Amino acid sequence: MNFLARFETERPGSGQRRSSGKHPFKSAVAGLAGLALAGLWPGLAQATEIQEITTDAGITAWLVEDHTVPLIAVEFAFKGGSSQNPDGKEGLSNLLSATLDEGAGDLNARAFQGRLEDLVMRLSFEDGRDDFYGSMRTISLNADDAFEMLRLAVSEPRFDTEAVERMKTQLIANIRREKNDPDAIAGRVWSQTVYPDHPYGKPSDGTEETVAKLTPEDLRALQQRMFARDNLKIAVVGAIDAETLKPLLDHVFASLPEKADLKEIPDVQPKTGMTETVELNVPQTSIRVGLPGLKRSDPDFIPAFIMNHILGGGTFSSWLYDEVREKRGLAYSVGSYLISRDHSGMLMAATGTRAEKAAETLSIIEEQFRRMADEGPTPDELQKAKDYLTGSYALRFDSSSKIANQLVGIQIEDLGIDYIKNRNQMIEEVTLDQVKAVARRLLAGKTPTIITVGPNGA
Amino acid sequence: MKSHSLKALGRHVRVAVFLVVAAAAPTAQMTVSALADPQAAATSADFADIRVGGDIATFTLQNGMEGIVIPDHRAPVVTHMVWYKVGSADEAPGKSGIAHFFEHLMFKGTKNHPAGEFSAMVAAIGGSENAFTSNDYTAYFQRVAKEHLGTMMTFEADRMANLVLTEEVIAPEREVVLEERRQRVENDPGSKLGETLDAMLYVNHPYGVPVIGWKNEIEALNKVDAIDFYNRYYTPNNAILIVAGDVTTDEVKALAEETYGKLERRAEPGERSRPEPQTVPGEQTVTLSDPQVNQPNMRQAWLVPSYNTAEGTDAEAIDVLAQILGGGNTSRLYEKLVVEDGVAAAAGSWYQSSALDDTRFMIYAVPRDGTTLNELASATSAVLQNVIDNGVSGEELERAKKSLLSSTIYAQDNQATMARIFGVALTTGGTVEEVQAWPARLASVSVEDVQAAARKYLAGSPVTAFLKGPETASGAANTAATGQKS
């Protein structure tokens, strides 16, 4: 549920995928998790020795071979995602993620789903704002059959009318269910408000009206534009060696078009100083307070990442946690998030409090923003943040699934294959002056955009 | 997933659905010989040989605290958990929410460490931590680099015996819990109806009381309640240590003796004996019409035995039944309601298998436009009746078993999942041996067993809960309640 997702270290299981509507706020934070890469412990290096492999057909992938558990985890991503949805066809990439495994090749939906179960494999797809993700898990002895199923889903989806209509119905039910959910409303209104004329402002799951109009032809067109070899990143982790893997990757991906045909997305700054209040008769008001953040490629990104950790990123230790929850008991969940997309960045605080305390809570959040801009953290706070961020990195590498997720994230952000080795050092080198400077850059003299959803406009 | 509203609350995190499901699908140290034939896809018989957590070890300290070690040497990380055999169903009448509230209070100071010091230590070493409460258990965990395991055990042992509570720390935390209740329950009509459904299903049994507690009773919880609860249940003989990760049994046992082993038995919590749940006669249907609801849905619940209360392999048969009836996109409910008849947007079933006492079997469905909730309920009943009357096929049985058993292999990829599987089992009446033998028992279920379980446990009328907007009976949009920007 909403920003609590940041504490979850793994993606939801495939069984939950379609029932839990991916609302914008959650997706944004999940995107951040992929970037929350810090340092490395000794010993982790060999646990995650990455081979960069190139197949005969010229597909590259990162592989970590580990035979401890007889499983193979495959993660991949195509640049694209919901920002590629044509105007008026919002929700298309989400529908694509739901229909790729609903029939492919000679197998109709029922046959395809039955075959997935018979192979005890797991296959799922998910769209982000900037990327379209695929995920497969198989026991190693079924690898050949599992990769064939993956090939069918990626390159020969059927988009039969029956399956497409069924998935549309399901996605529309999700949209309806979230229509009056305070956190979901806050996420939607936030996007519309700060990105009014940009694909990032559109509802990524679409609306009832836009989803209802989507067709198999729309799906095929997006699939053909987005699934290509030049915008593809792949990570494989588990019980498979490079020579076995290469022909399997060629089998799945070599027949895709050489180049994707993506529409250009302009860079955009989120609007500041906006205030939107949505009236909803619930006992707890959802609050979002946000400002422009940084793209991942910004040279100030790592200092900003540390700054955000101190401000509101830490689980049970951050300024917002202390001031809002620990000292005053105003909220159960409170935190701040540095959300970096390909074409924009945001720094956002989020919480929920009883309606009569909404104004007080909001003013405390703004006060902590000002305190960070004016005073910044102490040397001790900086050191503690570094200790946490460098020390916690290994927790992201203790399962094949997690490693595969990390490796795709690093490739998507173009951080380089040595990133895992160098990340700690980059954090250690950040100075107090750099953190204070980026705090001023992001927070000083800025009027945040504020969204509240609750009773009586509170 | 909202229709699966779980009765597990965390200090910060809702325990994933997988947690409860996983207890019915424990993990395995799979041997390659179990999958010896590379020509054919694995069959359920191949999985039957799996011994869950093959090389785990167990020990018991002199003060009665149990220990389980689950080695996984792939990364230099450990998951350290302490599970207490106490949950919301052990609360005294009128004190609902104390188990969960107390879980929050365990993060306050002790005689030896002021409030915040433990969490600061966990953060300083790059660890993650949290805790969660359910009907039958409360658990605390940290995930850290392996060299810090001893430090975590020292702190965790300290707060088992030396917690210091004052009204000053209790008062704001009570507000936090009330906010948690607003966030999880009161802001969400589906969750509110979930509380109603449980209250109706669990007659004469504390599973009918929400884990987080009733609002007025949370408001009244005080320091005396908290200290009484602590002194009765937080004692080594009521606790289970579980360490998963890059460790050996000898290391863990030595550290446990130095830390937890030094604690006195503080209490004898006694038998966990709750009143027997009753099945009361009469059709029971409850409808919540709420202006916040824009998508109606339906849930049906039956009181059924858990792994702890079932006879023979009845629980395993119910697990298989839940899978065949509503476990995925080839299940009976999905095929009939969603694909063939097009009356539902989603449909499935679910068995909360791990519980100390009798538990629930659920069917859920989301109507398509033009289908009323009553029609939907009739449609699900017809699918269930068909299984009761005619049983299931051998192919369905095989597929369901493979699906359930393979989850034991996937679980091996995650040390925290492994730790949770054993924690849930051991706090809900199970044993290590039962977890390990689960694949073989599940593999022994026959088509006759599945039909018999359906007849025995699901032939009676369920408690039915309809969630809908104020003036609609189907999926028609309810625009009146939509928030207006101002």
Whether residue A41 lies within 8 A of chain B, CB to CB, comes out as yes
Whether residue B289 is contained in a domain is answered as: yes
Is residue A221 helix, strand or coil?
helix
Task: Return the pLDDT at A8.
Answer: 23
- Measure B271 CA to nearest chain A CA, in Å: 34
- Measure A358 CA to nearest chain B CA, in Å: 12
pLDDT in tens, B326-355: 998 999 999 999 999 999 999 999 999 999
> Is the predicted pLDDT of residue A67 greater than 60, yes or no?
yes
pLDDT in tens, B292-315: 999 999 999 999 999 999 999 999
Same-domain pairing of B91 and B190: yes
Within 239-258 of B, beta carbons closer than 8 Å to A belong to: 245
> Is the predicted pLDDT of residue B18 greater than 60, yes or no?
no
Size of interface A-B (CB pairs under 8 A): 257
Largest separation between any pair of C-alpha atoms in chain B:
67
Q: Which domains, ranges and CATH numbers included, belong to chain A?
A: 2-253 (3.30.830.10), 275-457 (3.30.830.10)
pLDDT in tens, A40-65: 344 454 456 899 999 999 999 999 99
Whether residue B309 is contained in a domain is answered as: yes
To the nearest 10°, report the CA torsion of B178, B181, B186, B189.
180
Q: What angle do CA B79, B152, A392 make, to 5 degrees?
A: 60
Quote the CA–CA distance of B345 and A172 in Å, as a whole number.
Answer: 9
- Measure B406 CA to nearest chain A CA, in Å: 6
pLDDT in tens, B54-106: 789 999 999 999 999 999 999 999 999 999 999 999 999 999 999 999 999 99
Find the DSSP H helices in A43-138: 44-47, 92-99, 109-118
Whether residue B484 is contained in a domain is answered as: no
The full length of chain A comes to 458
> Is the predicted pLDDT of residue A7 greater than 80, yes or no?
no
Chain A partners of B18 at a C-beta cutoff of 8 Å?
A: 13
Interface mutation vs chain A, best among B1, B212, B485, B486, most A CBs within 10 Å: B485
Inter-chain residue contact B339 with A110, CB threshold 8 Å: yes
Residue of A nearest to B341 (CA): A166
CATH number at residue B97: 3.30.830.10
What tokens does A113 get? 């789903």
Q: Percentage of residues in chain A with pLDDT exceeding 70?
A: 89
Whether residue B40 is contained in a domain is answered as: no
- DSSP state, residue A89: -
Inter-chain residue contact A331 with B176, CB threshold 8 Å: yes
pLDDT in tens, B242-294: 999 999 999 999 999 999 999 999 999 999 999 999 999 999 999 999 999 99
Q: CB-based contacts of B128: which residues, under 8 Å, 6+ apart?
A: A7, A315, A392, A395, B122, B142, B143, B144
Q: Percentage of residues in chain B with pLDDT exceeding 70?
A: 88
Bridge partner residues of B81 (DSSP): B141, B242
pLDDT in tens, A421-444: 999 999 999 999 999 999 999 999
Same-domain pairing of B245 and B297: no
Quote the CA–CA distance of B204 and B195 in Å, as a whole number.
Answer: 15
> Is the predicted pLDDT of residue A22 greater than 50, yes or no?
no
Whether residue B72 is contained in a domain is answered as: yes
Task: Return the pLDDT at B219.
Answer: 98
The better pLDDT of the pair B124, B458 is held by B458
Kindly state the helix (H) or strand (E) to which residue B348 belongs, with its residue range: strand B344-351
- Is the separation of the CB atoms in B113 and B97 below 8 Å? no
Same-domain pairing of B365 and B430: yes
Inter-chain residue contact A394 with B38, CB threshold 8 Å: no
Quote the CA–CA distance of B292 and B298 in Å, as a whole number.
Answer: 16
Quote the CA–CA distance of A170 and A163 in Å, as a whole number.
Answer: 11
Task: Return the pLDDT at B44.
Answer: 79
Same-domain pairing of B82 and B223: yes
Quote the CA–CA distance of A178 and A210 in Å, as a whole number.
Answer: 16
Whether residue B147 is contained in a domain is answered as: yes
Residue B46: band (very low, low, confident or very high) from pLDDT cuts 50, 70, 90: confident
> Is the predicted pLDDT of residue B2 greater than 80, yes or no?
no
Residue of A nearest to B410 (CA): A71
Same-domain pairing of B163 and B299: no
Whether residue B5 lies within 8 A of chain A, CB to CB, comes out as no
Whether residue B188 lies within 8 A of chain A, CB to CB, comes out as yes
Pairing state between β B463-468 and B297-304: antiparallel
Closest in B30, B74, B179 to A352, CB measured:
B179
Same-domain pairing of B163 and B15: yes
Same-domain pairing of B252 and B354: no
The full length of chain B comes to 486
User: For chain B, how many structural domains are there in total?
Assistant: 2
Whether residue A139 lies within 8 A of chain B, CB to CB, comes out as yes
Closest in B75, B187, B413 to A44, CB measured:
B75
Nearest to B197 by CA among B19, B469, B456, B462: B462
Task: Return the pLDDT at A457.
Answer: 57
Interface mutation vs chain A, best among B35, B46, B176, B338, most A CBs within 10 Å: B176
- Measure A350 CA to nearest chain B CA, in Å: 13
Residue of A nearest to B19 (CA): A13
Chain A partners of B188 at a C-beta cutoff of 8 Å?
A: 181
Chain A partners of B120 at a C-beta cutoff of 8 Å?
A: 317, 384
Task: Return the pLDDT at A47.
Answer: 52
Q: What angle do CA A434, A437, A442 make, to 5 degrees?
A: 125
What tokens does B190 get? 């589906």
Compute the average pLDDT of residues B435-463: 96
pLDDT in tens, B474-486: 444 443 333 333 3
Inter-chain residue contact B123 with A314, CB threshold 8 Å: yes
In which domain, by residue range, is B167 found?
2-34+46-262
Same-domain pairing of B211 and B294: no
Task: Return the pLDDT at A378.
Answer: 97
What tokens does B284 get? 């029971």
Chain B partners of A328 at a C-beta cutoff of 8 Å?
A: 172, 175
Task: Return the pLDDT at B201.
Answer: 98
- Measure B204 CA to nearest chain A CA, in Å: 30
> Is the predicted pLDDT of residue A76 greater than 80, yes or no?
yes
Residue A284: band (very low, low, confident or very high) from pLDDT cuts 50, 70, 90: very high
Is residue A125 helix, strand or coil?
strand
Inter-chain residue contact A384 with B329, CB threshold 8 Å: no
Kindly state the helix (H) or strand (E) to which residue A178 belongs, with its residue range: helix A161-178
Residue B9: band (very low, low, confident or very high) from pLDDT cuts 50, 70, 90: low
Closest in A44, A278, A387 to B124, CB measured:
A387
Say what the pTM is. 0.90
Q: Which residues of B are catalytic?
A: 103
- Is the separation of the CB atoms in B238 and B85 below 8 Å? yes
Residue B51: band (very low, low, confident or very high) from pLDDT cuts 50, 70, 90: confident
Whether residue B92 is contained in a domain is answered as: yes
Task: Return the pLDDT at A28.
Answer: 29
Is residue A344 helix, strand or coil?
coil
Same-domain pairing of B295 and B257: no
pLDDT in tens, A102-144: 999 999 999 999 999 999 999 999 999 999 999 999 999 999 9
pLDDT in tens, A375-389: 999 999 999 999 999
Same-domain pairing of B12 and B149: yes
Whether residue A314 lies within 8 A of chain B, CB to CB, comes out as yes
Residue of B nearest to A167 (CA): B345
Q: What angle do CA A11, A126, A417 make, to 5 degrees?
A: 70
Same-domain pairing of B396 and B293: yes
Whether residue B275 is contained in a domain is answered as: no
Number of H helices, E strands in chain A: 18, 11
Nearest to B213 by CA among B91, B332, B298, B117: B91
Within 408-427 of A, beta carbons closer than 8 Å to B belong to: none
Q: Provide the mean pLDDT of chain A.
A: 89
Inter-chain residue contact A384 with B481, CB threshold 8 Å: no
Inter-chain residue contact A117 with B399, CB threshold 8 Å: yes
- Is the separation of the CB atoms in A170 and A109 below 8 Å? no
- Is the separation of the CB atoms in B80 and B142 below 8 Å? yes
Within 162-181 of A, beta carbons closer than 8 Å to B belong to: 162, 166, 169-170, 172-174, 176-177, 179-181
Quote the CA–CA distance of B195 and B286 in Å, as a whole number.
Answer: 11
Residue of A nearest to B340 (CA): A162
Same-domain pairing of B298 and B363: yes
Q: 């249940």: which residue's tokens?
A: B233
**What sign results for the dihedral spanned by CA atoms A93, A97, A103, A109?**
negative
Residue A316: band (very low, low, confident or very high) from pLDDT cuts 50, 70, 90: confident
Whether residue A109 lies within 8 A of chain B, CB to CB, comes out as yes
Pairing state between β A232-238 and A60-65: parallel
